[in-house]
Amino acid sequence: MSLLEVHDLVVDFRQRGGARLRAVDHVSFRLNKGETVALVGESGSGKSTVVRAVGQLQRTDAGAVLLDGVPAGRHGRALLAYRRRVQVIFQDPFASLNPMHTVRYHLARPLRMLGGSRSGLDDQIHALLGSVNLTPAEEIAGKYPHELSGGQRQRVAIARALASGPDVLLADEPVSMLDVSIRLEILNLLDRLKRERDLALLYVTHDLATARHFSAEIMVMYRGEIVERGPSDEVILRPAHPYTQLLASAAPDPSASREQLAAARRARMAARETASQDPASRDLAAERREVLLGEGCRFRLRCPHAMDVCARRPPDAAVGDQHRALCWLHARAATPASSAGSES
Amino acid sequence: MSAGEVILRAEHVSVEYAGRRPTRAVRDVSFELRRGEVLGIAGESGCGKTTLAYALARLLRPPARMSGGEVTFTTTAGQTINLAALSGEQLRSFRWTKVSMVFQSAMNALNPVTTIGRQFGDIFAAHRPAMDNAARDRRARDLLTMVNIDPERTVCYPHELSGGMRQRVVIAMALALEPELVIMDEPTTALDVVVQREILDEIERLREQLGFSVIFITHDLSLLLEVSDWLAVMYAGRIVEYAPAEAVGKDPAHPYTRGLLGSFPDMRGERRDLHGVPGSPPDLREEFPGCPFEPRCPSAFEPCRTKLPRLLPLSVNSGSGWLAACHLHDREVIGK
């Protein structure tokens, strides 16, 4: 049994006119102690909604979230007990701290809620600040968010998440608002805390390079569905789903030579040219956001390998050890697994 | 159009933000941009990248002012313009026709309450008063087609377009008057990798087609190594390294450039320990007797605390134009 299990999570958003947008469509995964799982995908793919749903910050329409095999509490004491063990780190450290309060206040609140004694409070706050490398702790504790840099603010947000002594951290794009030079320090910090405290970490990002570097497993999300999952090196170095292949080829590659870059660019332009000739795929360029509510593969309008069969629901096919893709291209290798994530 | 000729020359440019203790955001920056080239400017937030860009386009507004130096622009016709000397009507006709800009968070640079077509119309009304309505409309539709957007979209409001499409519209607007230089300040930062890649390809294609030069500003060094010909790395308002982009990725001369290059993992390469650049950039209201990077530098030695390093050609690559401001490369300091 894994520490945190998510089974067939569904979140619908009601739209104007009564239509529903399925932001998260039967997503399942597991988080284990001392392990990082990365969730990658483009904006609007539903990554943050997964975090909010698992963190019990968002109403869900179906599915189950189990912590140690027990369904997550939704109200009152049970919810409080769940939150104590599952904490969220948000993307924007400029928005997630209250500008009217000091760092001390931000950390004292979760500590007090746990019924900690007033006398030891300052020591606990200083210990928390020390654990995220914010020193001198006494000085930092008295500061307001505007007196801190973006990196320092995110450290405060991490310290706040650690205050309740959680087992699971859900980090929603924890570094995308920060400078490149600071990002690594924050990711290294999360990695160290994960090891020291044996935390289960969900790392949500759109950066494939750091996803590969900091996590054991990667899940790729497209329009509400997990379309590929597997060991990080497998997913990045041998992507099986055409969407993952597109993501991997779009990321900057500083090691490529000028000739390689120019050749890759010409190939992409040619592919786009062919696609724009096809009137059915004209909308592709428009990057339309609405979810196709048909049964078929949601990526098929953008997919260079699209076939007739793609109008039917793609199978969850095994493409390697622990490596699966939701794609007809790999159908021959498919095993009759009913729901993704049940293989581990 | 002859390649190799200098289009923009900045000499000892300094910019200050007035205040009780003035913030010296750009300090003694000099460089040359050649026609058709892409110059990338990299550095952390608050190092002066955007302020420098605004100075180059004469867009600084109080409390910022150019406190020293000179920027000259040479047109295709061979006319050399001193930007500081422009005023009133001259300045207005120079901006956008010679140098245009794609602003940071371009997604929000469009007016939300009027259509895309009208916003193109504003550009032509201001700069091409002789154009009639039909011609303006035709030109706006041509520009949208050029950046791969359906020309029927001129009747759309910005909120009806996706982020990537808005970005393309903003680029089309920057190209509306066929400028010779386009300054792009973080043009793809808020976008997804896939959309970012499309926009970069688009910029490259338009550059081949129209032949404009580009100053590309971003903190994403991995991107800059790919798109630019020359790379200027800024720290604390100064250029600390100026190098050919293709070579600098493998062998940076300045410890700060090395730190930035170590800040992102290689997606496909071996896993390695990554460190970033510990510490934070200095307060630009301060004066620095020595090297401003010294407190964060792993290679700092005695002279770094007291003596400001000069931006000098590297001895190993002399003649290539590769410069670095670091005592480790200054023969007089290390006594070789």
Max distance between CA atoms of chain B, in angstroms, equals: 69
Contacts of A149 in chain B (CB under 8 A): 280
- Is residue B280's pLDDT more than 50? yes
On whether the CB atoms of residues B16 and B64 are closer than 8 A, the answer is yes
List pLDDT tens digits, range A131-141: 998 888 889 99
- Is residue A220's pLDDT more than 70? yes
Q: Is omega for the bond preceding B112 within 30 degrees of 0, making it cis?
A: no
Contacts of A251 in chain B (CB under 8 A): 193, 267
Under the banding of pLDDT at 50, 70 and 90, the label for residue A339 is very low
Query: CB distance from B226 to chain A under 8 Å?
Result: yes
List pLDDT tens digits, range B32-56: 999 999 999 998 888 889 899 999 9
Query: CB distance from B320 to chain A under 8 Å?
Result: no
Nearest chain B residue (CA) to A243:
B194
Distance in angstroms (rounded) separating the CA atoms of residues B230 and B246: 8
User: Do B194 and A208 count as a contact with CB atoms less than 8 A apart?
Assistant: no
List pLDDT tens digits, range A92-120: 888 899 999 999 999 999 988 877 677 78
**Could you say which of B163, B201, B263 has the minimum Cβ distance to residue A180?**
B263
What's the gap in Å between the CA of A78 and the closest CA on chain B?
A: 38
Q: In DSSP terms, which residues pair with A203 in a beta bridge?
A: A38, A171
What's the gap in Å between the CA of A285 and the closest CA on chain B?
A: 8
Q: pTM here?
A: 0.84
Mean pLDDT of B278-299: 87
Mention every residue, 6+ apart, whose C-beta is less than 8 A from residue A74: A56
pLDDT at B148: 82
Per DSSP, the residues of A186-228 read: HHHHHHHHHHHHT-EEEEEES-HHHHHHH-SEEEEEETTEEEE
pLDDT at A309: 87
**Could you say which of B222, B274, B280 has the minimum Cβ distance to residue A254?**
B222
pLDDT at B336: 55
Q: In this prediction, does ipTM exceed 0.85? A: no
Contacts of A265 in chain B (CB under 8 A): 201, 204
Give the Cα-Cα-Cα angle A115, A101, A159 (nearest 5 degrees). Answer: 55
Contacts of A151 in chain B (CB under 8 A): 280
List pLDDT tens digits, range A261-274: 888 888 888 877 77
pLDDT at A189: 93
What's the gap in Å between the CA of A265 and the closest CA on chain B?
A: 7
Nearest chain A residue (CA) to B250:
A255
**Could you say which of A179, A254, A286 has the minimum Cβ distance to residue B225?**
A254
- Is residue B141's pLDDT more than 60? yes
- Tell me which residue has tokens 């609405």: A290
- Is residue B128's pLDDT more than 70? yes
User: Do A247 and B194 count as a contact with CB atoms less than 8 A apart?
Assistant: yes
Lowest mean pLDDT among A124-138, A218-232, A293-307, B84-98: A293-307
Nearest chain B residue (CA) to A290:
B162
Chain A interface, mutation test: which of B264, B272, B275, most A Cβ atoms within 10 Å? B264
Contacts of B219 in chain A (CB under 8 A): 179-181
pLDDT at A270: 80
Which one-letter amino acid corresponds to residue B332?
E
- Is residue A303's pLDDT more than 60? yes
- From chain B residues 18-77, the ones with a CB under 8 A of any chain A CB are 44-45
User: Do A286 and B162 count as a contact with CB atoms less than 8 A apart?
Assistant: yes
Lowest mean pLDDT among A167-171, B192-196, B286-290, B320-324: B192-196
Q: In DSSP terms, which residues pair with A36 in a beta bridge?
A: A201
pLDDT at A335: 46
Higher pLDDT, B46 or A47: A47
- Across the A:B interface, residue pairs with CB atoms under 8 Å apart total 120
Nearest chain A residue (CA) to B283:
A149
**Could you say which of B205, B221, B261 has the minimum Cβ distance to residue A269?**
B205
pLDDT at A144: 93
Q: For chain B, give the mean pLDDT.
A: 88
List pLDDT tens digits, range A182-216: 888 899 999 999 999 999 999 999 889 899 999 99
Contacts of B275 in chain A (CB under 8 A): 184-185, 188
Residue B208, burial from CB neighbour count under 10 angstroms (0-12, 13-18, 19+): exposed
Contacts of A303 in chain B (CB under 8 A): none
List pLDDT tens digits, range A141-164: 999 999 888 889 999 999 999 999
Under the banding of pLDDT at 50, 70 and 90, the label for residue A343 is very low
Three-state helix/strand/coil letters over chain B: CCCCCEEEEEEEEEEEECCCCCEEEEEEEEEEEECCCEEEEECCCCCCHHHHHHHHCCCCCCCEEEEEEEEEEECCCCCEEEHHHCCHHHHHHHECCCEEEECCCHHHCCCCCCCHHHHHHHHHHHHCCCCCHHHHHHHHHHHHHHCCCCHHHHHCCHHHCCHHHHHHHHHHHHCCCCCCEEEEECCCCCCCHHHHHHHHHHHHHHHHHHCCEEEEECCCHHHHHHHCCEEEEEECCEEEEEEEHHHHCCCCCCHHHHHHHCCCCCCCCCCCCCCCCCCCCCCCCCCCCCCCCHHHCCCCCHHHHCCCCCCEECCCCCCCCCEECCHHHCHHHHCC
**Helical (H) or strand (E) element with A326:** strand A323-326
List pLDDT tens digits, range B70-116: 999 998 888 899 988 888 888 888 889 999 999 877 667 899 999 99
Q: For chain A, give the mean pLDDT.
A: 86
**Could you say which of A185, A208, A268 has the minimum Cβ distance to residue B278?**
A185
On whether the CB atoms of residues B14 and B69 are closer than 8 A, the answer is yes
pLDDT at A98: 93
Mean pLDDT of B295-307: 90
What's the gap in Å between the CA of A6 and the closest CA on chain B?
A: 27
Under the banding of pLDDT at 50, 70 and 90, the label for residue A275 is low
List pLDDT tens digits, range A236-251: 999 999 999 999 888 8
Distance in angstroms (rounded) separating the CA atoms of residues A253 and A209: 10
On whether the CB atoms of residues B71 and B55 are closer than 8 A, the answer is yes
SS3 of residue A73 by DSSP: coil
List pLDDT tens digits, range B232-263: 999 999 999 999 988 888 889 999 999 988 88
pLDDT at A291: 45
pLDDT at A150: 86
